[in-house]
Amino acid sequence: MSHANCHGCSLCLLSCPMWQQHRDVQYSPQGLFKALQHNASHHDITPALFSCLLCGACDTLCPENIDITETIKTLRKETFSHGIEAELKQKITSLFTQQASSSKVKIEKHTIILPGKALRSNPMRLTKIQSLLSSEIDTSLSLDDGDDIALALEAGIEIPEHRLQRFLEPLQRAKRLYVSNGHLLKSLRQWLPASELLALGHGLSQLSTLTKKLNKNDLYLIEARSFHHDHQQKITHYDQLRHQQGCQMNLDLQRNAIPTAAGGLNAIKPMLDSKEQAHWILSGRNIQRIIVECAEDEVVMSQVSDLPILHIADLMEA
């Protein structure tokens, strides 16, 4: 289904951060698609196109099954081809060159973790995560997180073949990969169909040694982007966890995980206020701790709340 099939039901507005912050229908899939149906130009829709977090919350709500996030990525790609947002494109493509020379070593491991930049900045936590996920078999960290590739995927920028090959080559022998970035996870599933691809936060949330420490005074923040890519499967898992431990989660009435706007494209081209997102998530809750799956969410939450904030891996010692 394409944007031409949008009939304007407004369901996608319910958990859309763009709509929540702007309160202007232009900043929503509904507004974007209506504009396109009336022949709006790429210039007209650029502000909304680049405000979208690609969190995927709208994809699970649309009754017409429009692949909204893929449509937005395609529209972004077209925008660049019209010469719009050239500076942003240049900023992201310059990262490919920097990455290309730092990723030549091959890893021969059964399981590989791609933790991403934010998690890498805490080596002790990373060692802990590696040990938590290494119970039966050898597990190693990828030498290349593919942060530049994730950013390009989010922006709708073409990835040079040589860069993609250099990134994928060491990963091809792995049977299982844990990936913290939701955008990367989705594409890796297409690029490495023989490997088992798991979201890192989701993988940790399956360890009862950690989750048994959750309680009714906790707000547990699911990493929204990877959650929405696997909504059917993950909602069952997180519902069970919520009922078992009694903790609260960043799920709204549609059981859609509300994202913070931390990290990704919004970090290099801020269009939505991540603190406002954090306030939305915390609004009306009576909690004593915040537990996050994603290291970027920890930073945002610490800016708006005095409560203790733990990464899920830190629950081991809690």
In the bound state with ligand SF4, the residue whose beta carbon lies nearer, of 6 and 150, is: 6
Nearer to ligand SF4, 142 or 187 (CB): 187
Whichever of 120 and 255 has its CB closer to ligand SF4, that residue is 255
Specify the 3-state DSSP secondary structure of 242. Answer: helix
CB of 61 to ligand SF4, least distance (A): 6
- Rounded to the nearest whole angstrom, what is the least distance from the CB of residue 211 to ligand SF4 in the complex? 27
**Residue 74 or 140 having the CB closest to ligand SF4:** 74
Nearer CB in complex with ligand SF4: 142/277: 277
Amino acid in the structure at residue 261: A
3-state helix, strand, coil in the chain (%, to 5): 50, 10, 40
As measured in angstroms, the least distance from the Cβ of 302 to ligand SF4 is 23
Amino acid at 172: Q
d(CA 42, CA 72): 11
Q: Which is nearer to ligand SF4, 74 or 103 (CB)?
A: 74
Give the nearest distance from C-beta 305 to ligand SF4 in angstroms: 23
Q: Residue numbers of the site for ligand SF4 (CB under 6 A)?
A: 6-12, 16-18, 29-30, 33, 52-58, 61-62, 64, 66, 68-69
In sequence order, the 6+-apart residues with CB closer than 8 A to the CB of 302 are: 309
* Beta-bridge partners for 140: 112
Distances in Å between the Cα of 161 and the Cα atoms of 114, 153, 156 are 20, 14, 15
To ligand SF4, the closest distance from the beta carbon of 33 in angstroms equals 6
Residue pair 289/218 in contact (Cβ under 8 Å)? The answer is: yes
Nearest distance from residue 23's CB to ligand SF4, in Å?
Answer: 13
Residue 38, CA distances (Å) to 32, 59, 81, 120, 221 in order: 10, 22, 21, 46, 39
How many whole angstroms from its chain centre is CA 311?
16
